[in-house]
Structure 1
Amino acid sequence: MKKQILMAGAALAVLAALPASAQGAASQEGGTATGAATAPEEATEPNAGDIVVTAQKRSERLQDVPVAISVVSGDALAARGSVNLEGAQYLVPTLNFRKSGTAINQSLFLRGVGTSTFSIAGEPSISTVVDGVVYSRAGEAFSDLIDIDRIEVLRGPQGTLFGKNTSAGVINIVTKRPGKDLGGFVEGGYYFGNGNEYRVRGALDLPVTSDVALRVTGFYGNYDGNIRNQAYGNRRVNGYEHYGARAMLVANLASNFTATIIADYRESKDDCCAEVIGTTPTGTPGTVSAAGAFAATVLPPAQGDRTRLINQDLITRTNEKSWGVSGQFDWELGNQTVTYIGSYREYDNEEIRDGDWLSQAYSNGTFVNASGQTVTGAGLNQLHDFGPQVSNTITQELRLTSPADQFFSYVLGAFYSRAETTRTFTRNDIVCNAAPVGTPCSTVPALTTRPTGTAVFGSVFKNFALFGQGTLNFTDRFRGIVGIRYTTDQLDVFHRRDTTLAGPGIQPSFGPFTGKTTNDNWSGKAGVQYDLLPQSTGYATYARGYKGPAFNIFYNLTATGTNVIEPETADSYEIGLKNTLFGGKLVVNIAGYYAKYNNFQANNPDEVAGVLVTRFTNAGRISTRGVELDMLFQPARDMTFSGGLAYTDARVDQFRVPTNGVVTGVVPSGTPLGYAPKWKGSLGADYRVRTGGPVDVALGAQGSYQSSQLSQLDASAAVRAATTIKAYGLVDLSAGLVDSEDRYRVTFQVKNLFDQSFAAAITSGGPGGSYRYIIPRDADRYYGVTARVNF
C-alpha cells in the first residue's frame, strides 16, 4: 500500500514545478562551448525542441544528435536543492550514484555499469568533463556544481570523441558564460528538519570592454548532518562545510579568434559518511559469537535503513582541496574552426575513517549473553585509517571542426593527458586479550598491543589519442555516421608498506614494488540516421568502448595482487527515435540498447588479515540491455512538464575465478549488477501563475521512483539479499513568490514529502557479522527556504 501511495504522489507531481531538462543555451560556431549569457530569469524561454548540446564537440540541437542524451539544467538542480551530481540521479532515470564512507570512493553508474574501486591505479567507467576539461579523478567530479548551465548525460560507450574511461558513458558539464551587461545575482538558502543547512552563492558579470567579459562566482555552504554520534554527546555528523570561487574570462581578440580562460578553487570539509550498523550483530551467519553478542550491547539499536545513531570514537571525514586553470582558444580559419583546450588541475584529499564502528576496542575471551549462554570468540579491535592523497593532472586537446552544412562534416583531434597521484595511508589498531570479552582494552594496558602500518603508493597515467568522427549527408534526410579513435596508454605504479606488528587489516611489510603496463586500442562508431518525418528522426549505431589497464594498488597489497588488470572493452548497439511535436513544444525521445562488456573491471569482496575488503580484478563478462524514454513538454511559456522512464536489465554473464583462487568467490551467471534497478523513473513540472500584479506565484513538484537494487555484488546469495536496497519513491514540493520582472524570488520547499527512508549503500563486514548502511540526507523529510535577487 505504501508503494502505491508513493507512486500516486509521484504522479501528482505534474501539478507543479521543476523543469528537469529545460534550459537556455547561447551557442557559438564551430563546436565551441555553449552556455546561457544571462541569469536564468532573464533568458527568453526556449521551446523544448530548441535545446542545444555539445555532445559531439560541436553545438547542435539535442534532437539532431544520434545519441541517447539526458539534459538537466542547472536551474533544475538548484530548484531541487541539489549541490552536486548525487542530486542528478533523481532526474535522470539511467543514472545511479554509489555513496561511500568517504568522497574519494564514490562512483557513478549508467545503464547499470560503473566502477567502484579503492585502487589508486583504477579509473572510472564514466568520464566527467567540465567545460571541455576531463577530470581524471571521480572524487573531484562529485564536488559542488558551481554556476551550472546544464549537464549532458551521454549514455553508453562514448570512446570515439571522449576517449578511454567512457565505456559506460560521459557526464558533460557546461557552465554559464559571462553576460554582456553588468549584472549578476545573490542567493541564500536555509534548510532545516534533519539538521540545519546554510547556503550562499552569487555571481557577477563584468563587461571589461566591448570584446572582453568576466564572470565571477562564489559559494559557501554548511550542513550539520543527518546522523548523531553517541560517542561525541549525540553530535550530528554526515554534514559538510564547502566554499570556493570560480572565474571565467571570455575575450574576442579578433573577429575570428576567441579566448576563454577559467580558474576555480574550492575546499571541502565533510564529516561524511559515517556508516550506521543497520542489523543486529550475531557473528558468523547461523552462529552466535562472543564478539557478535557483545557488539549488540554497545552499538545503538539496529533499525535497518531507519537507523540514525552511531557510537564511534573517530569521526569519519574527508578534507579536500582542489584548484585548476584552463584555456580554450577558438580560431576560425575560413569555414573551419581550430580549437585548443589546455588545463592543469590539482586535487588533494585526506581520508579519515573509523573502520571498527565502535567507541573503543574490547578484549577477546568469553561472554555470557542475555540467555545465560557462555560464548567464545574474537574481540572487537580498533581499526582507524588515515589516508592523505595528492594528485595533479595535465590535459591538452586540439580539434579541427568543419561546418555542419556540407556533404562530409567532421571533427578531427588529438588528446594528451598525464595524471599523477600519490597516497600515504596509515592504519592503527588496538588489540587486547583480557577475559572476559568486553573488557575495554584501555583498562588492561599490559595485555594490549598497537599494530600499525604505513604504506606509500602511487600511480601515473599517461594517455595519447588521435580521433575523428564524421557525418555523411547523403540526402537531406539520410545520413551516415563513422568515427574512429586510436589510443595508447601507459600506467606506472609503485607501492611500499612498512608494518609494526601484524594486526586486523594489516599485512606484514611489503615492497618496494614497481609496475608498468602499456596498451594500444582502436575504438570507433558507425551508424545511420534517417528523418522519418520533419519532426521525427530515427538512428541505429554501433559503438566500441574502451577502458584502460589498471593495477590493484591499495593499502594491503601483497605479491599475489600485483598482476595487471587488463583493459575493459564494450560493444554497444543502440536504436533510437527522437520526436519533436507541436511546433517544438513536445519532445519525446526513446532508445533501446544492448551492450556487452569483456574483461569487466570490478571489485570482488575478499578478506585480508581478518578484515573485509574489495579486490579490484577483471571480473569477467557482463551485459546490459534496456529501453529508455525522455519527455519534455512546454505547452505554454509558464508551464513545463518533464520526466523519464528506464527499464534496465544489467547482469553477470560469466564471472572469473578471483585471483586468490577461491571458487566460492564466483558470482553466479545471471546475477543482477549493483546499482542497476530494473525500473526507474522521474516526473516533474513547473507552473508560474501570472497574477498581473507585481508578484507572480511559482508552484512546483518533482517525483522519482526506483525498484530495488543490489548494493554489494557478492557470490553469496544471503549477502546479496541482505545488501539489497529496497524500492523507494520520493516526492518534493515547492511554492514561491516571483517578482513579475524576475528581480527577486523567494521559494519554500518540502523535500521527501512522505518521509520515505532508504539506504544509499548496504555493505557486509560490520562488527560481529553485522551490515553497514549509509543513510543519505534525502532519506528524511526536511524543508528549505531560498531567496534570490537578480541585478
Structure 2
Amino acid sequence: MKLVFARSGVATAAVAIALAAPAAAQEVAAGSAPVAAQEQRGAEIVVTAQKREERLQDVPVAVSVVSGDLIAQQGGINLESAQYLVPTLNFRKAGTSINQSLFLRGVGTSTFSIAGEPSVSTVVDGVVYSRAGEAFSDLVDIERIEVLRGPQGTLFGKNASAGVINIVSKKPGDTFSGYAEGGFFFGNGNEYRARAAVDVPLGEHVATRVTGFYSDYDGNLFNEASNVDRRVNGFKRWGVRGILVADPTPDLTITLIGDYRRANDDCCAEVIGTTPTNLAAQVLPTAKGDETRRIRQNLVTATNEESYGGSLQIDATLGANTVTSITAWRRYDNEEIRDGDWLDQPYANAGLNELHDFGPQVGKTFTQELRLTSPTGGLIEYVGGLFYSWADTERTFRRDVTVCAPNGDSLTTCDASGVTVTRPTGTATFGSTFKNLAAFGRFTVNLSDRLRLLGGIRFTHDQLNVFHSRQTALAGAGIQPNFDQGVYDRYLELVAGGVAPTTAQTQAVAASNGVPFTAKTTNDNWSGMAGAQFDLSRNHTVYATWTRGYKGPAYNIFYNLTGTGTNVIEPETVDSYEAGIKNTLFDGQLVLNIAGYYAKYDNFQANNPDVVAGVLVTRFTNAGEISTRGAELDLIWNPATDVSISGGLAYTDAHVDQFRQPTGTVTGVIEAGTRLPYAPEWKASLAGDWRIRTGGAIDLGLNAQASWQSEQISQFDASEAIRAATTIGDYALVDAGLSLIDPQDRFRIAFQVKNLFDQSFAASITSGGPGGSYRYIIPREADRYFGVNGRFNF
C-alpha cells in the first residue's frame, strides 16, 4: 500500500483497523506539514457519531473510524474497499451499483425493487442518501468514515436498522494550499488515476476547497466475443466537489457543498464458473470456478451513472445551544445494461436464447433536517430535532429476447437455414415516492462525573406511493405479459371468484388498459434507545444499551411484477442489546475496545429466489424472523515513534429464526438456524506501519495489511445444495507497500502490491446460469496487482 503519513489533526487512526497513529478529526489544509510523531501519540479521535463532536472513547456505541488517507493508502477507492478494513462490514457486489448492498453484523438488504430501502444508511456530510448505490462512488478527499454498528434509528432514521456509514469530507483550510497526485496500477488491467485539491481563502472569514478526480481502469476480465474482444469489468470516472465555509460572526457558520460525478463502468459481468449440462458448454470459455477470468458475451454488461447535488448547512449559536439546519437536494441517474444469457449469440437450442436488459433510472431526493444541540458538561445533554425526506425514483426497463426454434440436437446458430427467429420484448415503467417525516430526541443525564443514563426516542411517519405498467409487444420465453391497473383489477376479481392465482394472472391479461397500477401505504412508528454508561476511569468506560430499530414499509416493484407480488411488505423492526468496554492505555499508545451484542429482527425484508416465466428472479418479501449475535475487538497500538500496529476481530452468528414463505413462490422454507448471506462467522484484520526517519533527504515508509474472513453464503436459498454451491470459501488478502517520503512531506512516491499471494475468490456466486451452471462475480482484488503513486503537496 502507498504510505500517507498522518498530518496534524487528521483522523488517521481507525479503532477497527487503522494504519496510522490516531489524531483528532479536525479540518486542516490540504498540504499542511505533519507535527512530530511524538505529539500525535496519545492524541484523541473526535467523531460525530451522535451528531455532536465527541471523543470516540466517550461514545456508547460500537464505532469504527477509518481515515480517508487510510482508504487511499491501501489503494481503495470506494466503500467496497472499506470492507477489508472493518471486520463487521461486508459488501454484496452485483451487476450494477443500484443492486449492491452493505451488511453490518451480518444484516443488510438485497433487493432489485425500486420501492425498498437499505438496512445500512449512508450519510455524507450530514446528508442521508436515499439509495445506497449513490454512496458507492469514489472516496476522494475524505476526512474519515465512521462505521456505526447496530441499529441507529434514533438519530439517523428509518433506513439504519443495521447501522450507519457516516462519511465526512475534508474541509477548507485557512491558507492557500493543496495537493496533486497521480497513480498507475498494473498487473491486472491498467489503471490511471489523477486527484487534486486546492484550498483558496476568500477573505478572513470565508474559505473554499475544490477537489477533482479522474480514473480509468481496463478491467479484470477478458471478453472473447468477436464483437468485443477486449478487457471488461473496468471503469472510467471523473468528478468535482466544492466546499465553502463562511464564519461571518463567531456565532454563525455557513457550509455550502456542491458536487458532480460521472461514471461509465463496464462492470460487473458474471463469469460462468461451473460447466453447463447443456450445449452451452461448447460455446462458453472453460469454467474454472473463482479462477475463471474469461467470458464470451456479445453485450457488454455496464452501468452508466450521473449524480450531482448540493447542501446548505447553517450552524448558529442560540444562547448556550447550537441550532443546525441542513438542506439538501440530489439527483442520481443510473442506466443498467446487462447480458442475461451470458453467450456470444443466440442458438437454435432450448435454453440458449438471447436475453438483454436495459434499465435507465432517474432519482431525485430532497431532505431537510433541523436540530438543537445542547452544550456538554451539564446535568442533561441533548440533541433533538425534526427531519423531512422526499425521494422520488422512476425507471424504464426493457427486456429483449431472441428465440430460435430448435433445429435438431446439434448446436446451430440462429442465422442457419431453416431456423425460425422471433424477438419478444417487454417494457415496464415503474417508480416509487418515499415521504418521511420524523421528530427525534437523544439525551444523556450526568448523574455524576462517572455515571450517565442514556435515552432517546423517535417518531416516524412514512408514506410510500408506487406505480407500475408493463407493455409486452410479443410474449415469449423470459418475457412477462402486460401488467397494469386493468390487469390487476381483473386479477383480484378472478381470485375472489375462486380462480387459482397463477391461472388468474394468465386470464387477467386480456383486461389490460394501459393505466399504470398504483398502490399506497403509510405507517407510524415509535423507536428509541435506553442505556447506561460508567467511567471506571477517564481511560476505561463501560456501557450497556437497548435499541429499537425500524425500517419502513416497501413494495416489490420491479420488471417482473405480477398480481401475486403487489402486497405491502411490512416494516422491519429490531430489538438490539449491546454492551462494551472502551480502553485507552499507556498514555494513549494503546486503544482496545470490546463489544458484545444480540439483535432480533422481525419482518426481516429480504430477497428470496423464485422462477417467473422460466427466468430466475427474486421476490422482495418479509422473510420472517432473524437474529444476530457476536463479539468484536478493535485495537490500535503505537509502541514507538512512527510505528503503529492495528487490527480488528469479529465473531458473527447471524441466522434465520423463523422463515416466512412468500405467497405463490415455488421455493421452500429456509430452515431455522440457516446462516444469513454475507455474514462470515469470523473476520479479522491486522496492519502495521513504520516511517523510518533517516535524517537525510528521503525518509522511508514500510507498511503491510492483512485481512481474513471465513466462508460466507452468497445466495439466500431454501435449497441446502444451492447454498453449498454458492458458498464463498474463506480467503486471506495481504497488501504491502514501500514509500519514499520528503521529510517535510512536500512529496511522496509510493510503491505497493495488492493481494501479494494472488489469492483468488469470488465476490458473489449465484445460481441460474445456462444449463444449471453458477454465475460468479470476480472482484479486482481477487488477483495480484501493483501500483505506483506520486503526490506533491503545496
Q: Give 1:433's aligned residue.
A: 405
- Taking the TM superposition and a 5 Å limit, the aligned residue runs for 1:380-779 are 380-437=352-409, 438-444=411-417, 447-511=420-484, 512-662=516-666, 664-779=667-782
Q: Distance in 2 between matches of 1:444 and 1:608?
A: 32
Tell me if the contact between 1:732 and 1:749 (Cα under 8 Å) persists in the aligned partners. Answer: yes
**Residues 1:269 and 2:264 are matched in the alignment:** yes
- Taking the TM superposition and a 5 Å limit, the aligned residue runs for 1:17-416 are 19-20=18-19, 22=21, 24-27=23-26, 35-39=27-31, 42=34, 46-47=40-41, 50-231=44-225, 232=227, 234-282=229-277, 292=278, 294-364=279-349, 378-416=350-388
Q: Distance in 2 between matches of 1:22 and 1:119?
A: 42
Q: Distance in 2 between matches of 1:193 and 1:753?
A: 12
TM-score normalised by structure 2 residue count: 0.92
Tell me if the contact between 2:441 and 2:457 (Cα under 8 Å) persists in the aligned partners. Answer: yes
Q: Distance in 2 between matches of 1:436 and 1:406?
A: 84
Unmatched tracts of structure 1, length 5 or more: 1-17, 28-34, 283-291, 365-377
Letter in 2 for 1:174: V
Tell me if the contact between 2:610 and 2:619 (Cα under 8 Å) persists in the aligned partners. Answer: yes
Q: Distance in 2 between matches of 1:265 and 1:155?
A: 29
Tell me if the contact between 1:49 and 1:62 (Cα under 8 Å) persists in the aligned partners. Answer: no
Q: Give 1:32's aligned residue.
A: none
Tell me if the contact between 1:604 and 1:665 (Cα under 8 Å) persists in the aligned partners. Answer: no
CA deviation after TM superposition for structure 1 residue 475, in Å: 0.4
| Residue correspondences, number | 744
Runs of 4+ with deviation above 2 angstroms: 18-27, 35-49, 442-446
Tell me if the contact between 1:23 and 1:73 (Cα under 8 Å) persists in the aligned partners. Answer: no
CA pair 327-22 structure 1, distance change in 2 beyond 3 A: farther
Tell me if the contact between 2:20 and 2:644 (Cα under 8 Å) persists in the aligned partners. Answer: no
Q: Distance in 1 between matches of 2:404 and 2:590?
A: 68
Q: Deviations over 1:257-309 (max 9, x none)?
A: 00000000000000000100000011xxxxxxxxx2x1111000000000000
Tell me if the contact between 1:36 and 1:149 (Cα under 8 Å) persists in the aligned partners. Answer: no
CA deviation after TM superposition for structure 1 residue 60, in Å: 0.4
Structure 1 window deviating more from structure 2 (151-160 vs 96-105): it is 96-105
CA deviation after TM superposition for structure 1 residue 37, in Å: 4.6
CA deviation after TM superposition for structure 1 residue 79, in Å: 0.5
Q: Deviations over 1:117-144 (max 9, x none)?
A: 0000000000000010000011100011
CA deviation after TM superposition for structure 1 residue 694, in Å: 1.7
CA pair 333-379 structure 1, distance change in 2 beyond 3 A: closer
Q: Deviations over 1:231-276 (max 9, x none)?
A: 0454000000000000000000111000000000000000000100
Q: Distance in 1 between matches of 2:231 and 2:268?
A: 11
CA deviation after TM superposition for structure 1 residue 657, in Å: 1.4
Letter in 1 for 2:481: P
CA deviation after TM superposition for structure 1 residue 545, in Å: 0.5
Letter in 2 for 1:494: F
CA pair 411-444 structure 1, distance change in 2 beyond 3 A: farther
Three-state SS of the structure 1 residue aligned to 2:415 is helix
Q: Identity of counterpart residues, as a percentage?
A: 67
Instruction: Note the aligned Cα RMSD (angstroms).
Output: 1.4
CA deviation after TM superposition for structure 1 residue 55, in Å: 0.2
Tell me if the contact between 1:385 and 1:428 (Cα under 8 Å) persists in the aligned partners. Answer: yes
Letter in 1 for 2:57: Q
CA pair 43-248 structure 1, distance change in 2 beyond 3 A: farther
CA deviation after TM superposition for structure 1 residue 41, in Å: 5.0
Q: Distance in 1 between matches of 2:354 and 2:678?
A: 31
Tell me if the contact between 2:19 and 2:689 (Cα under 8 Å) persists in the aligned partners. Answer: no
Three-state SS of the structure 2 residue aligned to 1:77 is helix
Three-state SS of the structure 2 residue aligned to 1:109 is strand
Tell me if the contact between 2:159 and 2:551 (Cα under 8 Å) persists in the aligned partners. Answer: yes
Q: Distance in 2 between matches of 1:276 and 1:615?
A: 24
Q: Distance in 1 between matches of 2:254 and 2:24?
A: 19
Letter in 2 for 1:269: N
Three-state SS of the structure 2 residue aligned to 1:657 is coil
Q: Deviations over 1:329-353 (max 9, x none)?
A: 0001121000000000000000000
Letter in 2 for 1:429: V
CA pair 561-318 structure 1, distance change in 2 beyond 3 A: same
Q: Distance in 2 between matches of 1:640 and 1:329?
A: 38
Tell me if the contact between 1:24 and 1:36 (Cα under 8 Å) persists in the aligned partners. Answer: no
CA deviation after TM superposition for structure 1 residue 443, in Å: 2.6
Tell me if the contact between 1:21 and 1:71 (Cα under 8 Å) persists in the aligned partners. Answer: no
CA deviation after TM superposition for structure 1 residue 532, in Å: 1.4
Q: Deviations over 1:701-753 (max 9, x none)?
A: 00000000000010001100000000000000000100000000000001000
Q: Distance in 2 between matches of 1:530 and 1:40?
A: 38
CA deviation after TM superposition for structure 1 residue 22, in Å: 4.6
Q: Deviations over 1:82-133 (max 9, x none)?
A: 1100000000000000000111110000000000000000000000000100
Q: Deviations over 1:582-626 (max 9, x none)?
A: 111110000000000000000000001101011100000000000
TM-score normalised by structure 1 residue count: 0.93
Letter in 2 for 1:666: V
CA deviation after TM superposition for structure 1 residue 501, in Å: 1.9
